[in-house]
Amino acid sequence: MCDLFCPLCGKDKETLVHLFANCEFAHASWQELDPGWSREFVEKIDDWLGEMWGVLSTAVLERVVMVCWALWETRNQMIFNEQCMTPQHMVAGALNYLTNWKAAQRISPYQTVIEGVVQWKPPPTNYLKVNVDIAMNSACMRMGLGWIVRNEEGVVLGVGLKVVEGIFKVREAEALGVREVLSWIKTKGWERVVVETDAQVVTKAVCAKQILTPFGYLIQDIRDLMAQTEGMRLQFVKREANMSAHHLAKYSLHIQDDGVVEYFDYIPYFISHVACIDYLRN
């Protein structure tokens, strides 16, 4: 039977207005954001939101939205995983995420990030292109990485698969995928490689300032690996231009091998038809 009481305070029935405005946990969270935040009882969620939108600055509203998002995430973690955190840690994490997101939007003028590409294109002459993607299976608590290597003629030279036990947040998982494929490329001794991913937050973060979080450390690893390989490029493309890697990532969730599974002598059947579609479109 479904518990109708708030999972965060356990004292009142859970409603939207209770969860975000009237819950004791929510009160503590809002006062962590602003010690002067009102603790008055709120009757309607629409009135509460409308009043904030009318009087608060855009900068403060951004923080309010992030705390609302964090409250919802914390509520879900409590229900599904029986995990909770203090309002202090929750608010600090939400604001840190906002800071990192803003940093990722500031594109460096020294590196080009390609946006809006919806069809796979061969790399420039004398370059290789590696498309990479990740897939996650929360039920089995594992992540799959997949990548495909093609030359300037669109010919598939090889593919790689790897499974990672555990589940990361999406942006960390996407960054892990890029880092793993860059490390793999380094072991091959290849230079002049274009790496494509449909994770825009990763490509932007690589160009942004230092980010002191687990995500930021993954990004710094990506920067270091790129700096060690001459002619390395990282580009963002739409999912439609990254479908071969997407299919490989999903397939990799089912492999049992440890480490990287490589195919160079032949192209496995489960990816050949997708790669052919990319080839025929060019």
260 shares its domain with 142: yes
Q: What is the CATH number of the domain that holds 236?
A: 3.30.420.10
Assess contact for 244 and 143: CB atoms under 8 A: no
135 shares its domain with 83: no
Closest listed residue to residue 91, CA positions, set 33, 34, 49, 36: 33
pLDDT of residue 26: 95
3-state secondary structure (DSSP) of residue 185: helix
Closest listed residue to residue 279, CA positions, set 195, 117, 159, 155: 155
Give the whole-angstrom CA distance, residue 204 versus residue 32. Answer: 30
pLDDT of residue 177: 95
Residue 123 falls inside a structural domain: no
65 shares its domain with 156: no
- State how far Cα 79 lies from the chain centre: 23
pLDDT of residue 208: 76
141 shares its domain with 276: yes
Count of domains forming the chain: 2
List the domain range (segments joined by +) for residue 180: 128-280
Residue 46: partners with Cβ closer than 8 Å, 6 or more residues away: none
Residue 66 falls inside a structural domain: yes
Given 72, 105, 138, which residue is the final one in a domain? 105
- E strands, the chain, in order: 128-137, 142-150, 156-165, 193-197, 233-236, 261-263
Closest listed residue to residue 7, CA positions, set 107, 65, 54, 77: 77
184 shares its domain with 269: yes
Residue 46 falls inside a structural domain: yes
94 shares its domain with 162: no
pLDDT of residue 230: 84
271 shares its domain with 201: yes
Residue 205 falls inside a structural domain: yes
Residue 215 falls inside a structural domain: yes
153 shares its domain with 28: no
Residue 112 falls inside a structural domain: no
Residue 114 falls inside a structural domain: no
pTM (predicted TM-score): 0.59
pLDDT of residue 109: 38
183 shares its domain with 272: yes
140 shares its domain with 74: no
Residue 1 falls inside a structural domain: no
pLDDT in tens, the chain (282 residues): 456 889 999 899 999 999 999 999 999 999 999 999 988 899 999 999 998 988 889 889 999 999 999 999 999 988 888 888 899 999 999 998 888 777 655 544 334 455 567 789 999 999 999 999 999 998 889 999 999 999 999 999 999 999 999 989 889 999 999 999 999 999 999 989 999 999 998 988 887 766 667 788 898 899 989 988 888 999 999 988 999 999 999 999 988 877 898 988 888 777 877 787 776 676
pLDDT of residue 108: 47
156 shares its domain with 88: no
260 shares its domain with 137: yes
